[in-house]
Amino acid sequence: MYGAPPHKVSSVQQYIRDTFQQQVIGYSGCLEWPPRSPGLNPLDFFLWGYMKQRVYATTPPTFQELRNRITDACASVSPAMLYNVQREVQSRVQMCIVAEGHHFEHER
């Protein structure tokens, strides 16, 4: 939830706690998550780069073409890709645990 101001509103936090109970991971959640940790966030280490590569391989000539490319790029994310991302999250979290939450370098 860190870095997403709407999630800091008390009514939203209460809704999240009520809905997800002990499954909340994030800033001041039931399970703490290191703040500003793009290396542990699949949106940061996978999705945004993948989307940009697909959408902007060439400059979209129109706004509608941009929308179409974004839709197509989202649809192209396969279950196999998500499985690999999930395994990568596990690997990165393990490295974070070994580093006791301190900075660590991820080798590819």
pLDDT by position in tens, the chain (length 108):
445 555 567 787 788 778 877 666 665 555 556 666 777 788 888 899 999 999 999 999 999 999 999 999 999 999 999 999 999 888 888 888 888 777 777 665
48 shares a domain with 26: no
Predicted local distance difference test score (pLDDT) of residue 1? 40
17 shares a domain with 63: no
Domain that residue 23 falls in: 1-33
Would you say 2 and 36 are in contact if contact means Cβ atoms under 8 Å apart?
yes
Q: What are the CA-CA distances from residue 76 to residues 14, 38, 50, 57, 70 (Å)?
A: 35, 23, 10, 15, 10
63 shares a domain with 17: no
In Å, how far from its chain's centre is CA 79?
Answer: 16
43 shares a domain with 11: no
- Domain tally, the chain: 2
Predicted local distance difference test score (pLDDT) of residue 19? 83
- The sign of the dihedral angle between the CA atoms of 7, 10, 12, 18 is positive
In angstroms, the CA 49 to CA 44 distance is 8
Predicted local distance difference test score (pLDDT) of residue 97? 83
55 shares a domain with 25: no
84 shares a domain with 40: yes
Coil vs helix vs strand at 25: strand
78 shares a domain with 27: no
49 shares a domain with 22: no
Predicted local distance difference test score (pLDDT) of residue 2? 44
Nearest Cα residue to 74 out of 58, 94, 50: 50
